[in-house]
Chains A and B, each alone.
Chain A
């Protein structure tokens, strides 16, 4: 049973460019959340998708957008990259509702460097 997978592992972009990061949730999970983790900081919630719609959003500008596909995989897009967007981007998935407990399973992350 594969866990949460993310691609690519690393990438380097230039200021002003656009980037797309990808996430495949754990098998059986239908909800995907994205987090940004700057160096030396805790992860910060960007947004969450389920049923192919953005359901919750953290305090991030509109340059950050996403998408969820029918197979529950998700993309995170960042436009007009800034140096401050350099971070580890983490994807987490959650199983469908119905149980008494739940947890978010995290992927290994994508390390984005903006130069």
Chain B
């Protein structure tokens, strides 16, 4: 069965510092990987996704992620964090459905990001 591990429950960084959030997945085939962000009391917003091709993917709000098959990782990065980035971040892997496109997502338990002024 597929699974996602986010080893860091809580991370605090200073505004302007760089950020890396870790994500490891377990999946028997080529994974479909996602990063979502959730602000308090809100739904989930997609930051970026990886399906195939270039292993470095760019997303919204200045985020990027790198897929490393050898390490089963899909870490999220941002070169300079803004106070508005404080939120919960979830990594997810899409299952292989009966037909393409309609994938159920398996989420990690999330990493809460705090940004210090």
A residues whose Cβ falls under 8 Å from a Cβ of B: 4, 31, 33, 35, 40-45, 48, 50, 55-56, 58, 90, 92, 94, 97, 99, 101-109
Contact = CB atoms under 8 A, between A and B. Distances in A.
Interface residues of B, number: 27
Contacts of B41: 108
B85 to A, nearest CB: 19
Contacts, number: 67
Interface of B: 4, 34, 36, 41-46, 49, 51, 90, 92, 95, 97-102, 104-110
B106 A45 contact: yes
Given A45-B104, A102-B101, A104-B46, 8 more contacts: A40-B109, A42-B90, A45-B105, A56-B104, A94-B101, A103-B49, A106-B45, A109-B43
